[in-house]
Chains A and B, each alone.
Chain A
């Protein structure tokens, strides 16, 4: 493929320092959060991104820094040791970290996914016990609903939780759980009453180290390889009945309401990945010379970049608007959350694919970061509800709205 001519600064992955071309009227506090996250992404994540991808090592060092800088608590109320922000603030952090490495970003975000059920549905005792640990980053959290036979069809889960005196006994296996094995606090959805169908599942809090709770091997993934994905195995795992979240039968409601809060975060992850890819591609196109000029001066390339940038900005605007809407306390946000996730993830896939194309042969080489970004982007179209399911949700909501007149 010819001699590699470009070295040095171009290989070093650098993020944009938290600056966006468009003005989103962030508050001072939000700006601070974004800049701090961008600084961590730039100074601590970017230098190790390619190495983490290669080794698949969990980024504990970076998790520690996110904890020490108080970023784990941006979405947690102050009374539990957080900063009192919401989904918007969390999305800002996820977006910035994703520019450097989305595997690191999802490890951070998944702790929010595991913590939201407790915040939304937990009793005061449960919140007092777990939220401060999650907000401080002392312990990571994780959320588990998916099983081998229950992906999009969550109601097909077969993990059971049987009440036995003052304990529930869990049996079953969860699959592909982000932060599996690294987190210490797990929110699990399990069947408590088969006969009740969709109303037969309940949500539980299970702590790592509980007897009968073990982990499968770490999965070898296409992308977000720094993120730890494992099976959770429950074999007569006995937990106190106080660990039930809300009431029996509320399981899927807990899951749905949680996803409503966290889908913008996946959207933010996608926006971040796409932005990182765009920044890299723009720099490359400016420096790479063919036929006597920089390839950025060819319309074929500059138009690609233009479309990429426009799509990213639209995705960002949608994610931000949705996050703000959710934080304002709006009742029904399922359609908007689904829109933010589906649009941003499709954009990320397209933008990263185009970035590889713009880099040409170099884009295909592992020495350059864009092929990783393309591999990373794919999962955003799949997890936390596939984009097909998202479209189902949006379609259903549209019909419902039109029926309401």
Chain B
């Protein structure tokens, strides 16, 4: 919570200018005095327009003066009782950081009927697991998550707070950081600590062509969202002596928004971000119908089909398959780029794959600069050759 307040002083002359000026329409006149109702966002429009400066807004500075905060807090995301992989990955990073800081590794998890999951988290070397268990939290309600997590942070004052870079994570993190007036770094791929114990957060920018290390020296907690599949899964420690702490969820927890329904779209090929092997096609495939070759190759390899932006824009394959800066970021074991030139925005989405293979007729195509193995040739000859080799051996 930010320490902020607004009040109307005796100087008010009842002119009503503030009523018209309020963008949210929450001011009314009672007698000869303006009254500010619920829904005020402290935007300050009324204070500005008041001819006699009768409206006072106080903004308390909420940032820690000298960086307070000790421990490392990890947000563990769960949906339908399934904890997200990235949350586990963060626990291993978290353990590394807290060991270096000589601090505790803590985690927060929210949901309904999640006590067992909370208990399970302890076995990943977590010293304290804070959990919120309430029917209101059956579905991941972002607004409620933000309120509860922010309150928790204000109480336990961690030094570092890491959130997995899922759609939920990247939506709640900025709200939490703004509410706390602290810094947030997006989509991090690396962490370290400096001598003073500040978190050094590394992230890619400009589509991955420039790496930046960010620090947040004067504000706590130091927050970051973390890219999935960058860090490894932690080891289990079966009898780790960690604590389980249940946190209260107020019955009247307010939220303006409502989740009406959740619709799952079960298209395995679409969630390419999960695939271990991706066979991707670009303009060099020549025609939409040639993507059938990629489908076949992907199937034989047990992988998924990806695409460059150009072919998605041309309507050859749906957007769900697009890899790149404005599509999905993937980090498979093997990425086979077929007829893809290797434009920077595409590389942004796949260059951290373990092994990159490029097949292109143009020996000068930029894709070869990031490929581990390159084939200069016609995709419409090489891919059928790969398919027949794979089939022949089986």
> Which residues of A are in contact with B by a Cβ distance under 8 Å?
7-9, 11-12, 47
Contacts and interface: CB of A to CB of B under 8 A. Distances in A.
A11 B361 CA distance: 15
A106 B361 CA distance: 38
Given A7-B361, A8-B286, A12-B283, 10 more contacts: A7-B284, A7-B286, A7-B378, A8-B283, A8-B284, A8-B339, A8-B361, A8-B362, A9-B283, A47-B314
B314 A11 contact: no
Contacts of B361: 7-8
14 contacts: A7-B284, A7-B286, A7-B361, A7-B378, A8-B283, A8-B284, A8-B286, A8-B339, A8-B361, A8-B362, A9-B283, A11-B286, A12-B283, A47-B314
Shortest 4 CB-CB distances between A and B: which pairs? A8-B284, A7-B286, A8-B283, A47-B314
A135 B283 CA distance: 39
A253 B5 CA distance: 80
B47 to A, nearest CB: 44
Interface in B297-338: 314
A100 B94 CA distance: 57
B360 to A, nearest CB: 9
What is the size category of the interface that chain B forms with chain A? under 10
Interface in B261-300: 283-284, 286
Contacts of A7: 284, 286, 361, 378
A9 B378 CA distance: 14
Contacts of A47: 314
Contacts of A9: 283
Interface string B370-384: 000000001000000
A7 B362 CA distance: 10
A181 to B, nearest CB: 28
Nearest to B284: A8
A8 B284 CA distance: 5
A12 B314 CA distance: 10
Contacts of B314: 47
Nearest to B283: A8
A185 B227 CA distance: 59
Nearest to B360: A8
Interface string B333-362: 000000100000000000000000000011
A12 B339 CA distance: 14
Nearest to B315: A47
A11 B378 CA distance: 15
A153 B104 CA distance: 97
Most B CB atoms within 10 A — which of A7, A9, A11, A12? A7
B313 to A, nearest CB: 9
A59 to B, nearest CB: 16
B294 to A, nearest CB: 16
Contacts of A11: 286
A11 B283 CA distance: 10
Contacts of B339: 8
B379 to A, nearest CB: 9
Interface in B139-166: none
Nearest to B380: A7
A263 B286 CA distance: 39
Nearest to A43: B313
A7 B339 CA distance: 10
Interface string B107-129: 00000000000000000000000
With a 10 A CB-CB cut-off, give which of A8, A9, A12, A47 has the most chain B CB atoms. Answer: A8
B209 to A, nearest CB: 23
Contacts of B283: 8-9, 12
Contacts of A8: 283-284, 286, 339, 361-362
Interface in B27-50: none
Contacts of B284: 7-8
A365 to B, nearest CB: 14
A8 B340 CA distance: 10
A7 B284 CA distance: 7
A9 B311 CA distance: 12
A12 B378 CA distance: 18
A47 B378 CA distance: 23
A47 B361 CA distance: 23
B203 to A, nearest CB: 33
Contacts of B286: 7-8, 11
A12 B287 CA distance: 11
Contacts of B362: 8
A184 to B, nearest CB: 30
